[in-house]
């Protein structure tokens, strides 16, 4: 079996072959193929810049792998600022002995994910480290995107207003549930897959529709509960959520009841939360219906002045409780 060797990170012939035969082959574009020490980019106006590292275990899970997760995660961070994704950097930290076929499968999935936008990987780095120095494969990606010229069009956690509606783009908790199931060999009997997805196409359509999007956030680590609490505290507003309006699959709900978790705390990698005026809810839901992965989008609550800084969950039985920030490390290395 062909495996990654230390010499392929040494900067010599073997490194050059790995870069050219694998990374250039799948990521190649006019900027990357210049093979300079740094990419020279042409940017106009305000720019969004983000970075993230990915260490998910296991590397492959139902609905994705560390590669498309890395690309989607960084593109989504840009999309949540309303920024058009333009350029990415990508650094691989590879454990000696990793099968070449595994690395190639990851790289191919990254190239496929990039095709969902016009973004390009324009620079990168490869390190091969001795066995045990990393767990198989870690990836860092940074991204640059163009921010809307109008500052009022940039979504922000500071812009939630009384009377706003809170929308969710799909059902929650699938990524966290899938990684947990894969790691613990629970043999979950369902077709549950991670929601890992590039969100820019739907965000771009919302922007092009002319909607006044006040806030956007992908509900990754900490899940829906973390996003809503951060927004309530940052904008000093109350967010009242109707529990029975939050879409949760039976498989995720069943796992939560089995293990004593709440789906609100589980991570998502292709589901986002949005705040906008109530008068625009129907138009927003119509946009969501144009995409396969946002068919379950729903309005789940409103921004009020009831208890500033808190998220209030309205139960189907007429009672209320505070939805708190997740505490502790619910599930490490999910992304």
The DSSP bridge partners found for residue 125 are 91
Q: Indicate the Cα dihedral angle 75, 193, 26, 16, nearest 10°.
A: 90
- Average pLDDT value for residue range 177-193: 80
d(CA 192, CA 63): 8
Shortest CA distance to 147 belongs to which of 226, 92, 94, 86? 86
* pLDDT of 47: 95
Is residue 63 domain-shared with residue 160, that is, in the same domain? no
Shortest CA distance to 73 belongs to which of 268, 241, 231? 268
Examine the fold and report which residue of 116, 137, 152 is the final residue of a domain before the chain moves on.
Answer: 152
Shortest CA distance to 98 belongs to which of 18, 175, 24? 18
Contact 80, 217 (CB under 8 A): yes
Residue-averaged pLDDT of the chain: 95
Helices (H), 2-52: 13-18, 24-27
Q: Tell me which residue range forms the domain holding 297.
A: 155-322
* pLDDT of 331: 77
d(CA 98, CA 84): 34
pLDDT 10s digits, 43-100: 989 999 999 999 999 999 999 999 999 999 999 999 999 999 999 999 999 999 999 9
Express as a percent the part of the chain with pLDDT over 90: 89
Whether 208 maps to a domain, the answer reads yes
Is residue 172 domain-shared with residue 101, that is, in the same domain? no
* pLDDT of 181: 86
Whether 121 maps to a domain, the answer reads yes
Residue 58: cis peptide before it, omega within 30 degrees of 0: yes
The DSSP bridge partners found for residue 302 are 165, 240
| Number of domains forming the structure of the chain | 2
Is residue 195 domain-shared with residue 217, that is, in the same domain? yes
Examine the fold and report which residue of 131, 152, 173 is the final residue of a domain before the chain moves on.
Answer: 152
The answer, yes or no, to whether residue 152 has pLDDT greater than 80, is no
Is residue 174 domain-shared with residue 189, that is, in the same domain? yes
Q: Using the 8-state DSSP alphabet, how is residue 21 labeled?
A: I
d(CA 96, CA 302): 51
* pLDDT of 247: 98
Q: Using the 8-state DSSP alphabet, how is residue 331 labeled?
A: S
Calculate the alpha carbon distances from 198 to 50, 109, 313 in Å. 15, 12, 29
**CATH number for the domain that contains residue 244:** 3.90.650.10
**CATH number for the domain that contains residue 39:** 3.30.1330.10
d(CA 220, CA 76): 10
pLDDT 10s digits, 257-288: 988 899 999 999 999 999 999 999 999 999 99
Whether 216 maps to a domain, the answer reads yes
- Average pLDDT value for residue range 246-261: 93
Examine the fold and report which residue of 152, 178, 193 is the final residue of a domain before the chain moves on.
Answer: 152
Whether 330 maps to a domain, the answer reads no
Confidence bin at 190 (pLDDT 50/70/90): confident
């Amino acid at each position: 079996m062909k495996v990654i060797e230390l010499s392929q990170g040494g900067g010599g012939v073997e490194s050059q072959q790995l870069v050219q035969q694998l990374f250039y082959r799948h990521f190649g574009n006019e900027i990357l193929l210049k093979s300079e020490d740094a990419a020279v980019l042409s940017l106009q106006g305000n720019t969004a810049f983000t970075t993230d590292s990915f260490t998910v275990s296991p590397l492959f899970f139902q609905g994705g792998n560390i590669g498309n997760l890395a690309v989607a995660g960084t593109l989504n961070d840009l999309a949540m600022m309303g920024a058009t994704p333009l350029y990415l950097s990508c650094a691989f930290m590879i454990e000696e002995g990793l099968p070449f076929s595994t690395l190639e499968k990851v790289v191919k999935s990254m190239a496929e994910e990039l095709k969902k936008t016009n973004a390009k990987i324009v620079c990168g780095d490869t390190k091969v480290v001795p066995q045990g120095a990393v767990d198989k494969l870690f990836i860092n990606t940074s991204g640059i995107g163009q921010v809307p010229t109008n500052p009022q069009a940039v979504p922000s956690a500071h812009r939630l207003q009384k009377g706003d509606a809170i929308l969710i783009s799909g059902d929650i908790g699938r990524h966290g549930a899938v990684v947990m199931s894969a790691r613990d060999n629970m043999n979950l009997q369902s077709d549950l897959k991670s929601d890992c997805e590039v969100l820019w196409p739907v965000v771009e359509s919302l922007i092009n529709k002319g909607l006044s999007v006040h806030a956007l956030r992908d509900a990754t680590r900490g899940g829906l509960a973390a996003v809503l609490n951060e927004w309530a505290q940052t904008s000093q507003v109350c967010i009242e959520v109707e529990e029975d309006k939050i879409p949760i699959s039976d498989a995720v709900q069943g796992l939560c009841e089995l293990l004593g978790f709440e789906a609100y705390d589980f991570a998502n990698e292709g589901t986002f939360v949005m705040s906008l005026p109530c008068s625009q809810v129907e138009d927003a839901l119509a946009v969501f219906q144009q995409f396969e992965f946002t068919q379950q989008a729903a309005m789940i609550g409103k921004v009020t002045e009831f208890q500033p800084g808190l998220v209030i969950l309205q139960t189907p039985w007429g009672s209320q409780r505070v939805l708190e920030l997740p505490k502790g490390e619910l599930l490490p290395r999910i992304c």
